[in-house]
Structure 1
């Protein structure tokens, strides 16, 4: 058995589709089939059940995958250690984002400039997806307006990095600008419709109802959207108001002159961005170095937790 067979097996385990996996590996489907068949022959067991043109990982494959993943991980650690002969910090860092990621990009860019041989894999997770027990990224980016993307059985340590205000977005046609006013009390807006977010999303979690209840009224929400972009476009059409994190507004590429943004008076809630890590014993050298850099970047105290 060779390293390519193991890598091919783990990629096929992920997709359970021969042609898709072959395309992603940039090899032919017959070559992938021969590699998997040779691996099964050497082990003397089948790793996948064939169901017509489809394949599915069986119990043998699930058990083998646990150790194959560990073996590759330790091999990668060895490669990183060998490269350190030439470079100070090397390796790969995986970051799963369950929050609006661009707000974290300046920190990531600052680290990347100092450590050009560390490679990042940044994934903005799809709506509604949860972290599977078998997945082990180095870091998870979460916001206070989202639900936890993992079960309580998975051990993660959280560090709040930054807090920001929520802003009110309105179209000039629905809420004409008032000269000299840059903030509003939500209680003044009880008769206006709000564009809210759907409630079954991990990445986006709407806080409109909570804020309006705190202001003394129940929100009228005739339209719901599944992202900040969709929310803002509906606001632009004059269909309602929306409450959004300040970082999203700040990162808009083309601010629309037809939109007006207000800070919220008497608002007791703030949007919090947090970074989560695994236990230090499970972290690579690159991940540990990045963690220390992030804490320093955001002015946090050194982390003495395990």
Structure 2
């Protein structure tokens, strides 16, 4: 057996080499963390400095104004909430059921691996591709932009996130729980409903919340589907205002008041995404 003195010894060349390598890697790791935090802090600080002054009660109570007039983002906020809610209601059941099949029924055969591969492709696909797909299959057929088209595009973005979360969380449920329930005579659907889902509930909810956070700031698919509306409208069958497109249009405009509203909208989306991520992590810890 080797004594500890022969291994952990400053005069041992192997120990010194490993210690130098360990110190080098720790230094590089700390440097990369500091580098990333620096840019992240700079972005957040700039965002709040530029948009913090525009945050007011008017922002949440008035619709988007014409150039040179006072106004807010109420119509864009309501439109974004409506489309995100519809997209979540459409995408969540599909994603949960698909993830359930992959985890509970897809242990054999080629369908489950192929579905996981296609889901990963859809998960990493650019959102503008989804927008173009909905434009070609829905908007071009009905002949007008609409909130329903925007919600469909966002729902397609929700599905792969929920599928991945549901699949991963159900696979973490110990098989002993399923076997114990099956030994008592429970059919598989009842085992999934009352055992697997309850054990993986926090993880699945976390996946849904992360999907909502993702679609909250998507602009590209809405440019081809919902477009925008300068006025307050609750009609989902017509162009409807939404925060991402308003931010895109107002940020590129030459009017300073519109620029301020764009910064304020960016702050609102950042706070929303931050709040959703905090809620998701809190649920996951429980």
Question: Comparing both structures, which one devotes a greater share of its residues to strand?
Answer: 1
Calculate the TM-score normalised by the size of structure 1.
Answer: 0.19
Question: Comparing both structures, which one devotes a greater share of its residues to helix?
Answer: 2
Higher relative contact order (CA 8 A, sep 6+): 2
Calculate the TM-score normalised by the size of structure 2.
Answer: 0.20
